[in-house]
Chain A
Amino acid sequence: MNRRDFLKNTARVIGGLTLPLTAFKIINPGELLASTGDKTKVRWVFLVDTYKCVGCGMCVRACKLENDIPYDAKVTRTWVERYVITKDGKTHADSPMGARDGFTTSKIDLGIDGYENVKKEDIDKGFFVPKLCNQCENPPCVQVCPVGATYQTEDGIVLVDRSWCIGCGYCIMGCPYGVRFFHPVYHTAEKCTFCYHRITKGMKTACVDACPFGARQIGNIKDPNDPVTKIIMTERVGILKEEYGTKPQVYYVGLDREVK
């Protein structure tokens, strides 16, 4: 083979290899689905009415059972925080076991420092704040995943591919809300998915169904007739940690400045 033939053959091989690859590009299944599917008409959002929450922890229990998070493991996809603000201006907050068993004592859990007794007459205000993944519009956890094992669906939910997650923990570090953790059994990154397996079948999330007081609601912000959308659009709602630029999609009614 002389040099000319060699170059010719090389060009043929490269051309032959590239053409099928370009064909794949033309019929990109993702783009095809986006143009035909109706997923673009959905953007899941969550609404929490903190006035209605009593801290019973039914949502946490329901979530753990629904999503196979070991019941006694000290991690949870959703949790409830208790805030007690006393007359001296101090904020006392806790969430024992993520409020899986509710708040069974009026003492504040201080971790290794034990419990703090807060006298009833000293309390100015107290309330409960349920927390879950904010399904951010600009999710930092997705940005930092080195292998692309965590991704955002077109209807706005951030999911984790357990088969591909290498367990580096960068996403856990990247989340300003502390919603991520390592699954105690699978040892991969784990998070709230708004019960994606349920909501995509027309059901509500396990926590929404379990809440006896209607403090939790899920809706589609792209549907103007959705009751959740109506509340978000017409009433005064807050979001958590706006300063991080993550554009969280869990909206709160009655959010207090003391909420961390």
Chain B
Amino acid sequence: MRKAYGFLAAVLIVCGITAASTIPTVKAAGPTERYLHVRVQDSKDGGESVSVNVPLSMAAAILPTVNKGKLHNGVVHIDNAEMNDIDVKALLEAIKNAPDNEFVSVKQKDEDVRVAKQGGNLIVHVIQKDKDAEKVDITVPMKIVDALLSNVKDNEVDVAAALKALGDAGGEAMLITVQSTTEHIRIWVDSNGNPAE
């Protein structure tokens, strides 16, 4: 009979271990997860709204595994022909080392364009004055520009390093907003996985 009790105890131990394996493990407190958010809202009545939230750690883990076209190991190869022989790396290096300034300001009948460096960010504003009245604001922290261009060849950009830099940066960073009469697009980074609309 004692053997039977022993066997029963062994069965209960096995069941206990199996059941314990189903309990989710408590995560160790690590660095706060950061998310890349994309919102597209159709301004029309009853229009569609699309919301995508990607954990940056997930994007950073996936990107180096994608080897297709010009993207290899998180690095994008840019053909010289596409850049019209402009040395983008040298250009951005010059912007990085320059003080805050307005680099380009174009005012036309149908479009205004402004490119500036302000508070450690590279800023591009485009305002179209046609019937769509599209307004584009792009804000790229210089740290991201730096990460894109460091440790790669002249005709390459390191997207994986840029993602890592985005993840390491603190606070909320609005990267792109596009506002037109028909839609509103926003791309930003923060630490909130379920942001309210």
A binds B: no
A interface list, Cβ under 8 A from B: none
